[in-house]
């Protein structure tokens, strides 16, 4: 089993966290939604897998390319 | 020559608090200065380097960063308005510009709210109500429903309207929460999804249905109304070039639509405003498709894209808001539009992915060209933060013809040097140079189709 890091594409705030540790996700499924410049930016699973950690909480500020979740594929 | 606009009785204001930021704050500061009115701006720590902070007569810091803790924080704004002894508040666009409670608080504190009476913010803020009122007054509307109360009444309304239709939130605008429905079988799910967005995003969680128009054009009419029951129009703006229901390029006049039809609609809008006693500036937004037109909503504030109307009419709309609010008469109706004006919105977002881009503006070198006006709230060294919208600058190009205005917009975009954030300049250039845009063959879906076609946006 390989671990895959999920990065934020933008600098912004965590607006909603939709998945938690242990959840299985399909490729393209939304793990969390970020908010930046009045836009909602979904963070999607890059492939099918299981969420092993969520690294940003509701309201956190995240930077571009920051790892916000890890999935096991 | 008699001054048309000598403000009778109350006199113009002495000091205006600007409850906004960015390009519109800078724009209002300038209008105040031209009218001999003192300006007061507010700013958050990330906006401290904004040009308006230096250019205004007074500037007050806000404590928070997020909109709710700063530019939307009515308590902070009211205490600064009172502390600075402003006699009027200009809300700009976005933020509190259509907020009934804020407008009333300003008035209750003995100041003028620069905009129509709060009751108008209320009447037009409810989209179902606005639609019904305008339809009663003779404004064409596309088939639609009243507020949806349950699934059965939604089905009945859908039967009458026909498919495709769109589920819209009554309390919002800007395309948020809209769901297009192709078949009756999809209606219930779409209602549930739209309801979730409406509940989260708008104070008023109601929904309504409207006929869905494929490939429409967005045409809006600029209305001016005074405090004495008179109203006029300043023609139309074409705003079909959009992405995610947000406008990217606007122009006036609208290419390829019979001018007589446009004038009739604009005049109808003005007549309705006069009849109903609307006061101050307003914009009637409509969709246009194959000769049919339908009222969408009325915006009770200055629009982002007001500059194109100013360029073709020679009338300063921000000054007009202030003067009309102080009781002035309407300006003289221009007999025709002069030339053509196009505005392109330069956003801090990736031209390909449309993802927002933040950072410090290492360089921000604006074009200074004949026939080109730039409206911005940024300068070199300033931070583009994730807290506010992505608009970096509006480039307004004018010419004696549409082709000339487009040419100037292209040159201006190429001459605009921005380092520190990514911008959508390449996307704007691609649209401006596309055959469809040049031929005036435009509709609200064109940008998304262009992006879907997949070919990479060429670099500058």
pLDDT grade for B42, boundaries at 50, 70 and 90? very high
With an 8 Å Cβ cutoff, are A61 and B386 in contact?
yes
| Ranges of H-type helices in B173-297 | 187-201, 259-276
| Coil, helix or strand at residue B347 | strand
For A50-62, write each residue's pLDDT tens digit: 999 999 999 999 9
For B249-264, write each residue's pLDDT tens digit: 999 999 999 999 999 9
Write the DSSP symbol of residue B45.
G
CA distance A42 to B161: 34
CA distance B10 to B276: 23
Q: CATH no. for residue A45?
A: 2.40.50.100
How many structural domains does chain A have? 1
With an 8 Å Cβ cutoff, are A37 and B244 in contact?
no
Q: Is the pLDDT of residue B9 over 50?
A: no
Residues of chain B within CATH 3.30.470.20 domain(s) are 217-452
* pTM for the full predicted model: 0.93
Catalytic residues of B: 301
Exposure string over A41-73, b if 16+ CB within 10 A, otherwise e = bebebbeebbbeebebeeeeebebebebbbbee
Burial of B166 (0-12, 13-18, 19+ CB in 10 A): buried
Q: Which residues of A touch B357 (CB under 8 A)?
A: 10
CA distance B49 to B31: 20
Q: Is the pLDDT of residue B120 over 60?
A: yes
Average pLDDT, stretch B35-46? 97
Closest CA to B239 of B228, B229, B248: B248
- How much is the pLDDT for B451? 86
Q: Is the pLDDT of residue B204 over 90?
A: no
- Tokens for B374, please give them: 């730039």
Fold held by B143-211: Dna Ligase; domain 1 (3.30.1490)
Fold held by B217-452: D-amino Acid Aminotransferase; Chain A, domain 1 (3.30.470)
Is A40:A34 a contact under the CB 8 Å cutoff?
A: yes
Q: Is the pLDDT of residue B4 over 50?
A: no
CATH number given to B15-114: 3.40.50.20
Q: Is the pLDDT of residue B6 over 60?
A: no
Residues of chain B within CATH 3.40.50.20 domain(s) are 15-114
CA distance B360 to B371: 29
Chain A positions touching chain B (beta carbons under 8 Å) = 9-13, 35-39, 41, 61, 64
- Of the two residues B21 and B244, the one the predictor is more confident about is B21
Dihedral Cα B372, B47, B429, B437, nearest 10 deg: -80
Q: Which residues of B touch A44 (CB under 8 A)?
A: none
Q: Is the pLDDT of residue B203 over 80?
A: no
Task: Confirm or reject contact between B390 and chain A (CB < 8 A).
Answer: yes
| Coil, helix or strand at residue B429 | helix
Q: How far is CA B178 from the centre of its chain?
A: 19
Cβ contacts from A onto B, under 8 A? 38
- How much is the pLDDT for B1? 36
Across chain B, mean pLDDT equals 93
For B417-457, write each residue's pLDDT tens digit: 999 999 999 999 999 999 999 999 999 999 999 888 765 56
Average pLDDT, stretch B151-174? 90
pLDDT grade for B244, boundaries at 50, 70 and 90? confident
Distance from CA of A58 to the nearest CA of B (A): 15
């Amino acid at each position: 089993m390989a671990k895959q890091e999920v990065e934020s594409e933008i600098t912004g705030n965590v607006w909603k966290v939709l998945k938690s540790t242990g959840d299985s996700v399909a490729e393209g499924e939304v793990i969390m939604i970020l908010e930046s410049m009045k836009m909602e930016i979904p963070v999607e699973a890059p492939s099918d897998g299981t969420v092993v950690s969520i690294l940003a909480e509701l309201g956190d500020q995240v930077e571009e390319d920051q790892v916000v979740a890890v999935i096991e594929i | 020559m008699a001054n048309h606009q000598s403000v009778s009785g109350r006199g113009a204001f002495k000091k205006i608090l600007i409850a906004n930021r960015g390009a519109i704050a800078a724009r209002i500061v300038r209008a105040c200065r031209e009218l001999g009115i003192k300006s007061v701006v507010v700013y958050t720590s990330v906006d401290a380097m904004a040009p308006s902070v230096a250019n205004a007569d007074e500037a007050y810091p806000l404590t928070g960063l997020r909109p709710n803790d700063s530019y939307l924080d009515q308590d902070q704004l009211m205490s600064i308005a009172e502390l600075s002894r402003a006699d009027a508040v200009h809300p700009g666009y976005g933020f509190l510009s259509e907020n009934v409670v804020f407008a009333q608080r300003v008035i209750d504190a003995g100041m003028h709210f620069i905009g129509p009476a709060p009751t108008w913010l209320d009447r037009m803020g409810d989209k179902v109500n606005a639609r019904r009122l305008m339809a009663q007054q003779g404004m064409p509307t596309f088939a639609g429903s009243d507020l949806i109360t349950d699934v059965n009444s939604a089905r009945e309304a859908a039967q009458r309207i026909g498919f495709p239709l769109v589920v819209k939130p009554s309390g919002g605008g800007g395309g948020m929460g809209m769901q297009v429905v192709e078949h009756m079988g999809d209606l219930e799910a779409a209602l549930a999804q739209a309801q979730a967005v409406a509940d989260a995003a708008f104070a008023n969680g109601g929904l309504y249905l409207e006929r869905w128009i494929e490939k429409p054009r967005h045409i809006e009419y600029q209305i001016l109304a005074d405090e004495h029951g008179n109203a006029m129009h300043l023609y139309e703006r074409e705003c079909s070039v959009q992405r995610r229901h947000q406008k990217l390029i606007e122009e006036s006049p609208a290419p390829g639509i019979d001018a007589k039809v446009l004038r009739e609609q604009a005049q109808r809008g003005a007549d309705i405003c006069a009849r109903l006693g609307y006061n101050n500036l307003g914009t009637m937004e409509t969709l246009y498709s194959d000769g049919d037109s339908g009222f969408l909503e009325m915006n009770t504030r200055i629009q982002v894209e007001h500059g194109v109307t100013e360029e073709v009419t020679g009338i300063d709309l921000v000054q007009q808001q202030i003067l009309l609010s102080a009781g002035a008469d309407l300006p003289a109706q221009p007999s025709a539009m002069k030339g053509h004006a196009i505005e392109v919105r330069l956003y801090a977002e990736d031209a390909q992915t449309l993802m927002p881009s933040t950072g410090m503006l290492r360089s921000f070198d604006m074009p200074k060209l004949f026939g080109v006006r730039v409206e911005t709230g940024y300068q070199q060294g300033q931070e583009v933060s994730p807290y506010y919208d992505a608009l970096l600058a509006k480039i307004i190009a004018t010419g004696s013809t549409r082709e000339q205005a487009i040419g100037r917009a292209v040159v201006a975009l190429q001459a605009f040097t921005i380092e520190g954030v990514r911008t959508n300049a390449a996307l704007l250039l691609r649209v401006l140079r596309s055959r469809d845009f040049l031929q005036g063959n435009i509709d609200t879906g064109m940008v998304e189709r262009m992006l879907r076609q997949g070919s990479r946006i060429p670099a500058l």
